[in-house]
Amino acid sequence: MALSVSITVNGRRFDRDIEPRLLLVHFLRDTLGLTGTKIGCDTSQCGSCQVLLDGVTVKSCTCLAAQADGSSVTTIEGVAPDGKLDGIQQAFWEKHGLQCGFCTPGMIFAARALLATNSNPSAEQIRHALEGNMCRCTGYQNIVRSVQAAAAAGGR
Amino acid sequence: MATTVAAPARVFGSGIKRREDPRLLTGTARYTADFTLPGQLYAAIVRSPHGHARIGKIDTAAAKMAPGVAAVFTAADTEGVLHPIPCAWLVPNSNLKTAPYPPLAKTVVRYVGDAVAVVVAESAQQASDAVELIDVEYEPLPVTIDPEQAVRPDAPQLHAEAPGNLAFHWTVAGGDVDAAFSKADVVVRDRIIQQRLIPNAMEPRGALAHYLPATGELTLWNTTQNPHIVRFIVSLVCGIPEDRLRVIAPEVGGGFGSKIPQIQGDFITVFCSMKLGRPVKWIESRSENYQSTTHGRDHVQDVEMAATKDGRILGLRCTVWAGMGAYLSTAAPGIPTILHGLMLSGPYQLGAVKEDVYGVYTNTTPVEAYRGAGRPEATFMLERVIDQLADELKMDPAELRRKNLIPPFDDGHDVVTGLKYDSGNYPAALDKVLTHVNYAGLRAEQAELRKKGRYIGIGVGLYVEICGLGPSQVAGAVGFQGGLWESAIVRFHPSGKAHVFIGSSPHGQGEETTFAQIVADELGVSVGDVKVVHGDTETTPMGWGTYGSRTTAVSGAALAVAARKIKEKAKLLTSHLLEAAVEDIDYADGKFFVRGFPEKHKTIQDIALMANVAWNMPQGMEPGLEATTFYDPPNFVFPFGAHVAIVEIDSETGHVQLKRYVAVDDCGHQINPMIVEGQVHGGVVQGIGQALWEHGVYAANGQLLTGSLNDYAIPRADLLPEIEVLSTVTPSPHHPLGVKGIGEAGTIVSTCTVYNAVLDALKPFGVKSIHMPLTPERVFNAMAASSAAGTRGADPAGPGTGA
């Protein structure tokens, strides 16, 4: 049984017939080929699959594609489509906020969500905001510095 | 440590931004799971739900009829095609008993997750659905999961080839340990459980195999730390000649040792593609990863230390039962032996050491290298009993350490286990960390707080690490079934831009940047003009991989030597072009010039052009500007450091708050201090994870209780303090750049440092030992048990005084 959905991703509308059980993350990765969004777990802990859904950060493994019908999604590919890094990406680059890069797309959206509501977060507030995102490489410290630097530079 | 340096005079040693980051930041980097080929199928693996069972009938009929299913295979289908997965570290003089490890279990499953069958379908969902339709009859067998208990006579047996479940028994001995203990004034002992850890690289493992029946060629995209070893082993297991195998490690999302070995899923994926002639992809879920990808640690350690009453350490004697899991993984036997037992004397003048290591088969997922691999387990034993000794002698633990340190040396020091450390200045590292934290002030503060019923603990940990593995002759002598050299090619193009090709395979450590810095520093090109290529056996020269903190130490040395060959050729060509004697050609800042006449010069770009067009070459000189080096290091490198952790225990709940962590590490010269610092952060946090939170738990019946990221606690941002990173610089005397490794250092010492801090805080309660992880429950129970035993308050500064 197929379900018709219309989802706008990175500004472009996609009309697709999908299985009702299809998760948003699989819609993005497998149906649309937007593989920048990562799958790091199957229990919604790691945060590697975070995207923006109608401006709100969601873990795209916890959301059915059907739930995103009529919505607008931004993935990491939509953050710097012309290759020009946004403020958060630039800060991650400058502060060595990534090593293997696998958790990075999710971290960037977590940072964006925080800075949208708190333009000058403390280190503790940043660490709290990153609770739902796991990184095994950096020990988080340079991610915290990256978010601080992004805030200092005026957010995204 | 500065991460931004204004106008650095020298690019070597500068914390420049990483060249690899833009693609990673924008989601354009491609990991194995991100590739999809035309006609691709998806594999899903049926895994044993039992820790130990005889396989009966496997009914695949329903699965084969399921929508989208192309094929279902069991072990019977692999007969004559797939060979057992080899163990590649056959430690000598250890009575090593390997047991055949089939890619698909044939008659018996030996751990939860052991692969039994595979479904291949048109979509990943269809493959997963069909897995549910396969009915496997199992006859459960008795299970053994604990390495110490598994060697007891009544334990269930895993393999006919290994009576008593003993995979090996290895001994290291140096000095007269019995004499040391007989003349000791004091002996301290501990039993330490190095609990099982699950590596959790954020990218799970996976493979994409594409076999071309017409040519017999196979391309394998694989989540690996060592693609050239993968090619070698896949060739052995699957029977595809190495010249027809191409292995690509694309972007790899962390490894920490768990992407060294080849696991069942890799071979199964290759097999499926060989059988079906179509590309086949297998990507494990995280929960599958917990069963199918290798684990780490799992030691039971009995350790005792002998000393004089004035605090001179005389000897160390230990027995270790090291859980190997159900099969010997690729490098597994070398980890609790060579990488562990040889490091038992650490940074100390320790005259006698003896250790017996029993490698034991258990009904658990195979154990492999996990960041630090053997060295954290050795460092912990040593650093823990030193704290016990300090307690026994009523000496300060930092002072006791200082008293026993090897004095500074810069070109070789022989230790009792037979190694020759390259260089070290351990007192300097200890002094630096103690000064930085104001150690004396901390002790005074601790005493004051205890009076108020607050319990802070100060943990000190020192380490020496063996890394930069290593001379190949030594590798052979210790049973490693491969070499440990590395290679590098530097190729200059006519425009003066360069490619570097390396055989090792970084996966987050930043060598695309640091290696460009090496070339830039040697030859005066811009870092942005040097592209470092790695991870593809078809385009890169042979190399043994990225693990054991060896890539900068060994591959970096190969690259430095190759760059210097370029420099020599450039000097010869310059002398020819400028009609000067080669002895008169000097090099500085990217220019080759006639001594005394700096205006008469050629840049490396001039030379690259002239060498490539080859219009005017000296007699006998080959065209092109390219150099290849195969570098086999003369010795290992031995980084070291001293760390301090400060914790506070909530005596009402047992909660441990890590308040402060300070690391002083010495990895010789630092190519990029920003990257070094990042490696320390990550390493330290992984070690903290072992001390406080992480634990891979099996039930007695062999079920993996921590079977998902829901159940296994990896460190989170909000649980950690800022790690303070400092360094000293003691160059390696034998390395062309004077560098050592830094990838594992933090993990090697942070576990015992944090542990020592917690036990230091609990001194007033009389707690001597708690098994890790130090969860609130364990800490609380240890305090309660000690209180019940009447030890509480024994310390004059203990609870009840002034609280």
Q: What tens digit of pLDDT does each residue of B652-711 get? A: 999 999 999 999 999 999 999 999 999 999 999 999 999 999 999 999 999 999 999 999
Q: How far apart are CA B299 and CA B335, in angstroms?
A: 11
By Cβ distance, the residue of B28, B254, B510 closest to A136 is: B254
CB B87 within 8 A of CB B98: yes
Closest Cα to residue B330, out of B267, B281, B288? B267
Rounded CA separation B409/A40 (Å)? 45
Place of tokens 């942005």: B528
Contact B486, B342 (CB under 8 A): no
Q: Do A101 and B20 touch (CB under 8 A)?
A: yes
**Residue B8 or B260, more confident:** B260
For residue range A45-84, what is the model confidence (pLDDT) as tens digits? 999 999 999 999 999 999 999 999 999 999 999 999 898 9
B415-431 pLDDT per residue, tens: 999 999 999 999 999 99
Would strands B591-594 and B597-603 be described as parallel, antiparallel, or unpaired?
antiparallel
pLDDT of residue A3: 96
Res B95: pLDDT = 98
The predicted-structure confidence for B213-225, as pLDDT tens digits, reads as follows: 999 999 999 999 9
Chain A window 87-106: which residues touch B at a Cβ cutoff of 8 Å? 89, 92-96, 98-105
Neighbours of B314 (CB within 10 A): 24
Hey, do B32-141+200-292 and B485-631 end up sharing a CATH topology, with the first three levels equal? no
A102 and B31 in contact (C-beta within 8 Å)? Answer: yes
CB-CB under 8 Å, A39 with B25 = no
Contact A94 B20 (CB under 8 A): no
Residue B1 has pLDDT above 80, yes or no: no
State how far the Cα of B386 lies from the Cα of B394, in Å rounded to an integer: 12
B608-621 confidence digits (pLDDT tens): 999 999 999 999 99
ipTM: 0.98
Cα separation, B305 vs B316, in Å, equals: 5
pLDDT tens string B457-495: 999 999 999 999 989 999 999 999 999 999 999 999 999
Q: DSSP states of A101-152 as a string?
A: -SSHHHHHHHHHHHHHH-SS--HHHHHHHTTT---SSSTTHHHHHHHHHHHH
- Residue B790's pLDDT is 64
Q: Rounded to the nearest 10 degrees, how much is the dihedral formed by the CA atoms of B573, B576, B579, B585?
A: 40
Kindly report the nearest CA distance between residue B12 and chain A, in angstroms.
Answer: 17
% of chain A exceeding 90 in pLDDT: 96
**Using CA atoms, how far apart are residues B232 and A42, in angstroms rounded to an integer?**
32
- Note whether B26 contacts A45, CB cutoff 8 Å: no
Interface test with A, best of B24, B688, B719 (most A CBs within 10 A): B24
**pLDDT, tens digit, 9 for 90 and up, residues B129-152:** 999 999 999 999 999 999 999 999
Task: Mark which residues 161-200 of B lie under 8 Å from A by CB.
Answer: 200
B621 and B610 in contact (C-beta within 8 Å)?
no
Look at residue B48 and tell me whether its pLDDT is greater than 80.
Answer: yes
Q: Is the pTM of this model over 0.90?
A: yes
Distances in whole angstroms, Cα of residue B463 to Cα of each of B35, B119, B385, B772 = 42, 48, 14, 20
Element (DSSP H or E) covering residue B647: strand B640-649
Q: Tell me the percentage of chain B whose pLDDT exceeds 70.
A: 97
Whether B9 shows a pLDDT value over 80: the answer reads: no
Q: Stretch B7-32: mean pLDDT, rounded?
A: 92
Cβ neighbours of A134 in B, within 8 Å: 202, 709, 714, 716
Q: How far apart are CA B619 and CA B409, in angstroms?
A: 47
pLDDT tops 80 at residue B651: yes
Contact B256 A136 (CB under 8 A): yes
Fold type of domain B32-141+200-292: Aldehyde Oxidoreductase; domain 3 (3.90.1170)
Average pLDDT of the residues in B503-524 = 97
Residues 6+ apart with CB under 8 A from B219: B209, B210, B246, B247, B248
Predicted local confidence at residue B4, as pLDDT: 46
| Cβ distance of A130 and B508 shorter than 8 Å | no
Q: What pLDDT, on the 0 to 100 scale, is given for residue B796?
A: 38
Q: What is the mean pLDDT of residues B384-411?
A: 98
pLDDT score, position A155 = 76
Domain ranges of chain B: 32-141+200-292, 296-469+635-788, 485-631
pLDDT in tens, B308-324: 999 999 999 999 999 99
Amino acid B792: pLDDT: 47
pLDDT for position B646: 98
Taking 70 as the threshold, does the pLDDT of residue B2 lie above it?
A: no
Q: How many residue pairs from chains A and B have C-beta atoms closer than 8 A?
A: 183
Q: Which fold has domain B485-631?
A: Aldehyde Oxidoreductase; domain 4 (3.30.365)
Amino acid identity for residue B87 in this structure:
C
Give the pLDDT score at B521: 96
Instruction: In whole angstroms, give the CA distance from residue A146 to residue B147.
Output: 44
Neighboring chain B residues of A62 at a CB cutoff of 8 Å: none
CATH of domain B296-469+635-788: 3.30.365.10
B28 touches A: beta carbon within 8 Å: yes
Q: In this complex, is the C-beta atom of B714 within 8 Å of any C-beta atom belonging to chain A?
A: yes
Across the interface, do A141 and B285 touch by the CB < 8 Å criterion? no
Taking CA–CA distances from A140, the nearest residue in chain B reads B717
Residue B795, pLDDT score: 43
Task: Quickly list H helices, B452-510.
Answer: 472-477
| Average pLDDT of the residues of chain B | 96
Which stretch of A18-22, A103-107, B3-7, B61-65 has the lowest confidence by average pLDDT? Answer: B3-7
Q: Which residue matches tokens 């990218």?
A: B203
Residue B7 has pLDDT above 50, yes or no: no
Q: Does B678 touch chain A (CB under 8 A)?
A: yes
CA distances from B276 to B39, B40, B73, B305 (A): 11, 10, 11, 60
User: DSSP code of A45?
Assistant: -
- pLDDT the model gives residue B485: 97
Domains of chain A with CATH codes? 3-78 (3.10.20.30), 87-152 (1.10.150.120)
Region of B479 please: left (phi>0), alpha (psi -120 to 50) or beta: left
Nearest CA in chain A to B24: A101
| pLDDT (tens digit per residue) in B728-775 | 999 999 999 999 999 999 999 999 999 999 999 999 999 999 999 999
